[in-house]
Each structure stands twice: as structure tokens, then as C-alpha cells.
Amino acid sequence: MSLVGRNSEAYCAAPRQPAHYGLRPNAPYVFVAAARAASVWLAFGLSSVVAAHAQTIAEKAQICSACHGDNGTPPDKATPVIAGQHQGYLYLQLRDYKNGTRANEVMASIAGALERDEMMALAEYFSKQPWPNLRQPPAGAEATASARRANAAIGCTGCHLGEYQGDGTQPRLAGQSRDYLARTMQDFRTRARANNPGMSDLMRAASEADIAPMADYLAGL
Amino acid sequence: MIPSARTYSLAAAAVFAFALSASAQQGAKQPAPAVAPAPAPVAAPAQEVVKPPAKYGDMSTVTQDLLNRAGDDGNNFLLTNGDYDQHRFYPNRQINRSNVTRLRPAWIFQTEVRESMETSPIVVNGIMYVTTSFSHVYALDARTGQELWHYKHKLGPITTYCCGPNNRGVAAYEDKVYLATLDSKLVALNAKTGAVVWQSDIADPELGYSETMAPTAVKGKILVGTNGGEYGIRGFVKAFDAKDGKLLWTFNTIPDNSVGTWAEKDATGRDMHRDIAAEKAQLAKIGDPYKTLGGGVWQNPAVDLATNRIYFVVGNPSPDLDGSLRPGDNLYTNSLVSVDLDTGNYVCHFQYIAHDVWDLDAVSPAVLVDVKDKDGKVVPGVIHAGKTGHVYVHNRSDCSLIRFSEAMVPQENMWVLPTKDGARMLPGANGGVEWSPMATDPRFGLTYAINLHQPMTYHVDSTPYPQGKLWLGGAFKVIPTEEQWGNVTAVDYNTGKIRWQVKTPQPMIGGILATAGGLVFTGEGNGWFKAYDSGTGAILWSFQAGAGVNAPPSSYTVDGKQYIVVAAGGNVQLDYKRGNAIIAFTLD
């Protein structure tokens, strides 16, 4: 359906805003408007089409690609890479957007229209895409040392595993967008990102000063 | 690396066929496993079935009789912890104090998964079964390390696990081997081909259940516990029918009434600083928190064949550090528990730490051994090494505590309550003794444990149950400026005294093996694998494996040659260097 492309472009209309994810009191006007448009479109488009099984997963995924990137590289650095991310993790995020434990108006609209098997299928689709190279520079010696100290203290690799590759429901962090990483760690600290309180606990036990070097380090892996 | 571990496909049948033809060409010196036509569902093509030279007849069926006598079996290594008593004591003394300096690698097998290894190799009539992270199984020729087959479990999309994608091994029973998987399935494999015979669901991984332990096979049952104490599960031990995977019974490690007796002191008599009044008020308000109270069972039960009872330990309550949401003693977390093997009915329990808020729980497997009671009378006992750093000695009849050992690691500031900004207490949350099994040599009355010393601060931060997500209720934070180390400790369980202790440069995790040769074998995160004189602690031999040796060693004998075998794969939890090797040693 050509509708997908047309609407999703409009829907992701604020790619240069500083951070268009998370529910922020100062969320850009255009973003909220886009989200509303998306809800309307979704109610009409995605759910009905899905019900009829007329859309392939690749077609459904086009709405995701509008923000997360056609080739896996998101146009906005605050948007996470989902191409090559683990299926279990992506599924849980869609589930949590739908049930509201992860707050984001755009994603809530999208996920709200999806059933569990559709979430799983989309998650699988993106998990099989190659992880993009965002060409982020390796962290310097000082940031690397700080990041390693933080890992020794709170045990990041205990879940995100060696080389921060993740697995299953644990996301890959290596090579993720630096801005997204930094913002996400901050959101865990403040519990603005509320769908993994254990992760919040760990980030709160880390020092706020660790966030920048950790983001540099992980992005550069 | 990790992604590649998931991208190849299983070619077990082809590999097996290759192994068979290679063995056939080499004649009787390299007998392949005795091969019967594989039963459905996966039968090997007829031309691939080669009758091997049956040197000793078909001894590859693991009968209950063999398992009952596993502790006296000088050839096989049939159970994860050696025998049903879990002594991890190997009765062959070919490799001993006088010749261990001549111990050399016989072969090295490299798996396709370079990630944390915790497997206890099982050896049946010259065939070895090992597992890797992400729930793979390999069958190897125990003489040469040659691969016979490889099973890669196709993990479902949802895996929820703490502390690494580990697997601690298979259970062997009759003609099958059994694997419990990260996505919480129990899988029965044909021991000769690696083909799946049946698969059963254990629990829902989306709610935080996962499996890393080796199952225990006994009397037609496959026993398995669960991980998930960091995710608000309700823990259990389940028994499945070995033949078809049907669930026979479930013992919930968290009873419907988890409140207990409002114990104010731990097993050693120290005050845990509970605010009982506040807990009672909370209980009146929210009711019994049993549904999400945790209580994982990480390690194998010991089986008392005489009384038909099993003994196991139950892990921490959920959330780990936040007691405000779970008033009461949180039974049977942090406890030794015994249940009836046939029915799963409760027999007795002993709780080490009621209402734990430090995750200093019970994970190292229980060991059955005769012990002296307080009057010096020898009684059937059961012992357990805690994360607290004590070895606890119990009477097997009622689980009651007879004594506890001297602390094997420094204890400071116990039991200071966790705070928002973090309170320092020793031991750190990994112990003491983590999941690492002990080895026990009843001839000397000694049990051997490996320990961690990792200073930490304990932080509390209350959040509601997150539906199967990580639920710590705070954090444990390693204090980066403080020195960490480990030790190997021999404890006299009849007195509670430490017989000998050897410090290691890093905290220890993995396991230990004792042999009739007067040796104990254990490895370190820095790659050193060492043999100690089990009477004195003298280091008699060491080998650098190139990756962390953080798995329990096994021993076996084939064609009159004794081997020591261990995995060198490093460790996720302590971030020790990863590898993918199974290394077998023998005398040159």
C-alpha cells in the first residue's frame, strides 16, 4: 500500500528535533501532531489491513523504517537502531509500549494496533536485518577506562554479555547510536524510562558522570 | 563470538556419520559408541549405521543401578556432582600426589560458542557429554576429543536470564541425555545421535523463568529447578517423566503461606535488623507476597536413596534488596529443603537467612555425608556452603542445623541494612561460595569450597513488580578501589574448623573435584587450573588454559587411562576472559 510510505513520511516529520522519543513535557508540537496523525492512520490503516493479512511483514515494517531508517540507520541520532537488534528485546519493547510501561506517544500508537504475533513477526523481521555501521568513533582512552570501571562496579556485561552484544531479551548496545544511549541511560536513572526498574536501579547505582563515557564507549564498539 | 554462535546450523547426523566411519577405519583401537538403530523421530539413514567393535559389549545405557553406584565407578562420571550424594569425589587414584606433576593435556576440544562455560562433563563408557552457553550439547569421544554429534537448541525469541547464558551440563539416563534450556524447556536427546526425542515446557520465559542447571535423573524422573529469583518468579523443583516428558509433580519453593516465624536472627545467631512491626503492618495491607517471591533453585538436588528424599537449596527472594514489598520470612527462600522423591511432598526445611535483603542466598548444591552431631554421634548429614562464607552442617532427618563452620571469607558489618546510597558489608553479594559445587572427601572428613572476596555496597530502591523484568529492588555495587581475591578452603565438617586455605588472586567461581589420588582440582578466572594436595593445600601442579577456568572439573577412565577434564570458557558474572575449550588431561 502506497499509503504506508506517504503517511509514515509525514509521521516522522521532526527528525531534527533534539530528541523525539520519550514523553517529554516540552515535546515539539510538530511531533505530537504527527503522532496524532499516526494514530488516526493506524486505526484506519494498519490494524484493518493486518486483520485481512493483506500486508507482508516487510510492508508493515515500512512504518518503522520511516524513523528507524530504510537501511537500518536512523535519520535522527536520538532514534535507536533496531535493525539487527535482538527479537526478544524488540518484542518486549512493543509489548511495553502497548501496555504503557514504556512511555512514548508515537510508539504507543503503533504498538497499540499490534497483536502479540504481529509484534513477534516485526521483531523477528528487524532482528534479521544487518546491524548498520553508524561510523561512530572509538572512545578515547579516558572514556574507555571510565566505562570499564563502571562495568566492574555494576556489571553491565552480566546481562548485555561480552562485547555488549546482548542476546534474547537483552539488547545489543555495541554500536548503538551514542545520543540514544546517553539519553536512555539518563532516562533509566530518572525512571522516565520505567519498563525495566532493575536497569534503573543499576543506573542509579552508577555515577551520573559515567554516562557520557559509557555512551562514547558503547557507541564506538 | 556471540552472534556467530547463532548463525550456523546443526549438522549432527553428518558429523556423527563421519565420526563413525572414521572410527571404523581406525579399527578396534578407537571404538565408536555402540550404535543401535536410532529410534524415531530421527532415524539415521541405513548406510550410515556402522556396527562398531563391541569391545566390552554395550555399556552405554545408563541404568539406575549404575547411577546408584556412581560414586564408586572408577570409569565413568555419571552425575553432575559425581554421585547422588554430590561428593564430586572420583575414586580412581591413578593420577595422584606422586605423579600429578606429569599431568599433560591429552586433547583440547573447541566448541563453536565462545561464551561463559559452567559445564560438568558427563562421561559414559568413553563418550563425553558437555554443554555450552546458549544451550548447546556436544558428544565427544572421551579418548580423543573428537566430536560425535552437536545439538544446538533453537532458542525461542524470549529468554530472560541473569548472570549469563550458561549451561551446567546434561543428565544421562538409560539411552538419553537431558538438557534444560535458557528458554525454559526440558529436552530429551538420543544419547547416540543427539536427535530430539521429546521436549517439554518447564515454565514461561516471558515471566522470567530460565534454565542453566543440569537436570538430575533418578528412578525414571528428571528433576529440574529454575532460575528467576531476580525476576519475581515463583520458584519450584519439577519432576518430569524420563520416558515422555510428562510433568509428574511440582514442588513450589514458595509455599502459599510464606510468612514463617518472624525470625530475627540468622542461622549463626546474628541479628538481621528486621523491622517486624513494619512488616506485620505491610502484611496486613498487601497480603502474602508468595506469587512473585522468587526462590530459584540453581543447582542439583542430592538424592538420599535410602529414604527416597531429595535435598536442595533455594535461592533469594524477589526483589533481591527490597524487603518492603515482601513482609515475612519469605519461606523457603535461602533455605535447605527436603522433599519426597516420589511425590514432591515437603519433608523439612531450614532457613539460613529469613527475609534476606542482601542476596546472600543458598546456591551451592547440598551434599549428603555422614557427620558427627553435637554429641559426637555419627548421623546422616547434609552440608551446604553459603554465600555467607559458612559451611552449614545439618541433620538429614529433620534438616536441623548441627553446626556451621568458621567463616571462609571476611565478614564485616553484618547485617547492616541496604540504604539508598549504599551500605558496605562483607561478603559481597556473590559470596562466599556462589553456585560453585563443593567436593567432599569423607575419608578425611573434609569438604572443599572455593570462595569469593568482593567488597560491595548494598543499595535499596523500591519499585513494584515489573512483570517478568529484572527486579532487584536496588543494586549491589562492587567497590572498585578495594582489593578482590578468592580462596580454596578445606573445612572439617565434623568440627567446623578450617583445615587449610589457599588464597587466589581473583574471586573464585566454578567448582572443584576431589580424587582418591589425594588431590583436588579447581580453576581460576585468570586461566590457571591447579591441583592441590587435598590433605595440606599444597599446589602440586598447574596449567594455563588461556581463558577463565570457571567450571567444575570431572574425571574418568577409558582403556585404563585416567583423565581429568575441565571447561575453560570464562565467566559472565565476574567478566573473566571467555573461551570455548574443553581440555582433558592425562599422565604423559
- Find the length of chain B: 588
Candidates A149, A151, A198; nearest CB to B472: A198
* Residue from the list B155, B159, B478 with its beta carbon closest to the beta carbon of A152: B478
What pTM did the predictor assign?
0.87
Smallest CA-to-CA distance from A102 within A6, A196, A3 is with: A196
- For the question of residue B359 being annotated catalytic, the response is yes
The predicted pLDDT at position B162 comes to 87
Closest alpha carbon to B365 in B572, B86, B89, B580? B86
Beta strands in B352-463 (DSSP E): 367-372, 378-385, 391-395, 401-404, 423-425, 439-441, 446-453, 456-460
**Which residues, 6+ apart, have CB-to-CB distance to A199 below 8 Å?**
A188, A193, B470
> Is the Cβ of A100 closer than 8 Å to some Cβ of chain B?
no
> What pairs with residue B539 in β-bridges?
B532
Cβ(B338)–Cβ(B348) under 8 Å? yes
Q: What is the pLDDT of residue A162?
A: 87
- Across the interface, which of B467, B479, B575 has its CB nearest the CB of A157? B575
Kind of pairing between the strands at B512-515 and B89-90: parallel
Least confident of A36-45, A95-104, B75-84: A36-45
Mutate to test the interface with A, among B153, B158, B482 (most CBs of A within 10 A): B158
Helix or strand (DSSP H, E) at B186: strand B185-190
CA dihedral A37, A40, A42, A48 (to 10 degrees): -160
Please indicate whether, in this complex, the C-beta atoms of A168 and B182 are within 8 angstroms of each other: yes
- Give DSSP secondary structure letters for B140-180: EETTT--EEEEEE----S----SS-S-----EEEBTEEEEE
- Beta strands (DSSP E) in B406-473 are 423-425, 439-441, 446-453, 456-460
Residue A202 three-state SS: helix
**What is the pLDDT confidence band of residue A28, given thresholds at 50, 70 and 90?**
very low
Give how far the C-alpha of residue A165 lies from the chain's centroid of Cα atoms, to the nearest Å: 16
Of the CA atoms within 13 Å of residue B211, those in its CB half-sphere come to 32
Q: Find the radius of gyration of the CA atoms of chain A.
A: 17
Residue B254 near residue B295 (C-beta atoms within 8 A): yes
Rounded distance between C-alpha atoms, residue B70 and residue B122, angstroms: 11
Residues 6+ apart with CB under 8 A from A121: A57, A60
Inter-chain CB proximity B157 and A167 less than 8 Å: no
Nearest to B3 among A91, A120, A165 (CB): A165
To which H or E segment does residue A188 belong? helix A178-190
> Among the options B359, B421, B461, B559, which is catalytic?
B359
* Range 127-146 of A in CB contact (< 8 A) with B: 127
Q: Which residues of B touch A208 (CB under 8 A)?
A: none
Taking CB atoms and an 8 Å cut-off, how many pairs form between chains A and B? 111
Cα gap B449→B534, rounded to integer Å = 12
Tell me which chain B residues have a C-beta less than 8 angstroms from the C-beta of A168: 155, 157-161, 165, 182-183
Contact B70, B79 (CB under 8 A): yes
Q: Which chain B residue has its CA at the smallest distance from A123's CA? A: B157
Confidence (pLDDT) at B334: 98
| Least Cα separation, residue A168 to chain B (angstroms) | 5
d(Cα B210, Cα B226) in Å, to the nearest integer?
6
Question: Which distant-in-sequence residues (6+ apart) come within 8 Å of B150 by Cβ?
Answer: B10, B11, B12, B15, B112, B136, B137, B138, B139, B194
Q: Which three cell numbers stand for residue B327?
A: 513482609
CA A110, A111, A113, A117 dihedral sign is: positive
CB A33 within 8 A of CB A17: no
Q: Which of B351, B321, B319, B310 is nearest to B334 (CA)?
A: B351
Phi-psi region of B486 (alpha: psi -120 to 50; beta: other; left: phi over 0): beta
Given a contact cutoff of 8 angstroms between Cβ atoms, the answer to whether B83 and B70 are in contact is yes
Cβ <8 Å between A161 and B471: no
Contact between A120 and B575 using a beta-carbon 8 Å cutoff? no
DSSP classification of residue B51: P
Contact check, Cβ <8 Å, B475/A157: no
DSSP-derived 3-state class of residue B568: strand
Q: Which of A149, A154, A161 sits opposite B572 (nearest CB)?
A: A161
Please enumerate in sequence order all residues whose Cβ is within 8 A of that of B544, keeping only pairs 6 or more positions apart, or say none. Answer: B527, B528, B529
| pLDDT number for residue B490 | 98
Pairwise CA distance, residues B315 & B446, whole Å: 25
Phi-psi region of B474 (alpha: psi -120 to 50; beta: other; left: phi over 0): left
Looking at residue B576, the DSSP 8-state letter turns out to be B
* C-alpha cell, B6: 547463532
CB atoms within 10 A of CB A190: 11
Please answer whether residues A151 and A159 qualify as being in contact, where contact means their C-beta atoms are separated by less than 8 angstroms.
no
pLDDT, tens digit (0-9, with 9 covering 90-100), for A173-188: 999 999 999 999 999 9
The answer to whether the CB atoms of B159 and A197 lie below 8 A apart is no
Nearest to A19 by CA among A77, A104, A84, A95: A77
B72: three-class secondary structure by DSSP: helix
CB contact under 8 A, B158 and A169: yes
Q: How many other C-beta atoms can be found within 10 angstroms of the C-beta atom of residue A136? A: 19
Instruction: Report the alpha-carbon distance of residue B494 to residue B499 in Å, rounded.
Output: 11
- Taking an 8 Å cut-off on Cβ atoms, the answer to whether A154 and B3 are in contact is no
Q: DSSP strand E in B315-407: where?
A: 335-340, 346-351, 367-372, 378-385, 391-395, 401-404
Contact B168, B135 (CB under 8 A): no
Best CA proximity match to B115, nearest among B126, B97, B94, B131: B131
Q: Which residues contact A201 (CB under 8 A, 6 or more apart)?
A: B459, B461, B463, B472, B473, B474, B475
Q: Can you give the pLDDT of all 588 residues of chain B as single tens digits?
A: 333 333 333 333 344 333 434 333 333 333 444 444 444 444 444 444 445 544 454 567 999 999 999 999 999 999 999 999 999 999 999 999 999 999 999 999 999 999 999 999 999 999 999 999 999 999 999 999 999 999 999 999 999 998 999 999 999 999 999 999 999 999 999 999 999 999 999 999 999 999 999 999 999 999 999 999 999 999 999 999 999 999 999 999 999 999 999 999 999 999 999 999 999 999 999 999 999 999 999 999 999 999 999 999 999 999 999 999 999 999 999 999 999 999 999 999 999 999 999 999 999 999 999 999 999 999 999 999 999 999 999 999 999 999 999 999 999 999 999 999 999 999 999 999 999 999 999 999 999 999 999 999 999 999 999 999 999 999 999 998 999 999 999 999 999 999 999 999 999 999 999 999 999 999 999 999 999 999 999 999 999 999 999 999 999 999 999 999 999 999 999 999 999 999 999 998
Q: Which residue of A201, A207, A210, A221 is the best one to mutate when testing the B interface, meaning the one whose CB has the most B CBs within 10 A?
A: A201
Cis peptide before B435 (omega within 30 of 0): no
Residues of B in contact with A87 (CB under 8 A): 157
B-chain residue closest to A153, CA distance: B478
Q: In this complex, is the C-beta atom of A43 within 8 Å of any C-beta atom belonging to chain B?
A: no
Is residue B408 classed as helix, strand or coil in its secondary structure?
Answer: coil
* Contact call for B157 and A168, based on CB within 8 A: yes
For an interface test with B, give the residue of A129, A167, A200 to mutate (most B CBs within 10 A): A167
Nearest-angstrom CA–CA distance, A85 and B413: 43
Q: B15: alpha, beta or left, given left = phi > 0 and alpha = psi -120 to 50?
A: alpha
Residue B350's pLDDT is what? 98
Q: Which residues of chain A make contact with B161, given a CB cutoff of 8 A?
A: 168
Report the distance separating Cα B49 and Cα A219, nearest Å.
52
* Residue of A124, A167, A196 with shortest CB distance to B2: A167
pLDDT at position A112 is 96
Q: Do A151 and B575 touch (CB under 8 A)?
A: yes
The three grid cell numbers given for residue B38, joined into one nine-digit string = 536410532
Residues of B at the A interface, defined by Cβ within 8 angstroms: 1-3, 115, 134, 155, 157-165, 182-183, 230, 422, 459, 461, 463-464, 466-467, 469-480, 572-573, 575, 578
> Does residue B427 have a cis bond before it (omega within 30 degrees)?
yes
Q: Is ipTM > 0.90 here?
A: no
The H-or-E segment that residue B492 falls in is strand B485-492
Q: What pLDDT does B574 receive?
A: 95
Q: How confident is the model at residue A55 (pLDDT cuts 50, 70, 90)?
A: confident
> Which among A161, A169, A197 is the nearest to B2, CB-wise?
A161
